[in-house]
Structure 1
């Protein structure tokens, strides 16, 4: 009968190989977990930014509508100051008051008779939101862009148009 014996080096090699494989598999699993967590965080940041910009846009659209109604009754100079956050989801944003928005730009405008809209754009996150404004596009002075924060919505008789102005 032939008997084989294992030398001590074979067993030592098996333990080292097991440790290397365990560390490798653990590293791959942790890397995959971090990548999926990062993707989920980016998605949630974009969703949060979009929701915040829609809320800000709706508030500003309501204030612009109020200015338009006051002007329709009196034709005086009107100014409303709208306090809005300077940033959303840790990103600065700009607000554009447009007298004409095409339907391919803004899906919300398909449901509205108005062609005027607000275009809100986040700078650090790739999010653009369009909000319809219930104002005749001819009453808007021209394409205007202001940074988020405190915004004045003005109508002056001699200029004959609604405009946005950032307040520092």
Structure 2
């Protein structure tokens, strides 16, 4: 079963390989999808070697093969921007396009945010979290300890 890991441009993003490894140890085949800004945070060649798949960040061209449909999606680390756009249904990037349709397709989504308390307490963010949870998306509370980032929290809500 394929797990999509959507990585956003936040501080913990360079460590996303830890999440990939943990997911693989649980039996998942992992497809990494990066927001355009996250590409500057992650080691793309290392992730491609680890997963055996290209890191995706854009829509495929018609002549490119379709990737496998995900059985589940984890967004980690999730940014303030991505959580809010996801809740509003804004699909202006490939990762957000995947997220926009996932609840309607019945694909489980777990969101592990990485944001400071000032953003976490903002009313727009709280509204977005409530809306996503009402649609069945598992939005976890931002971790209070982020060094090391607790990647395992997202996986605790999934099973292959």
Same fold per superposition (TM over 0.5): no
Greater strand share, structure number? 1
What TM-score, normalized by structure 1, do the two folds share?
0.21
Q: Quick check: which has more Rg, 1 or 2? A: 1
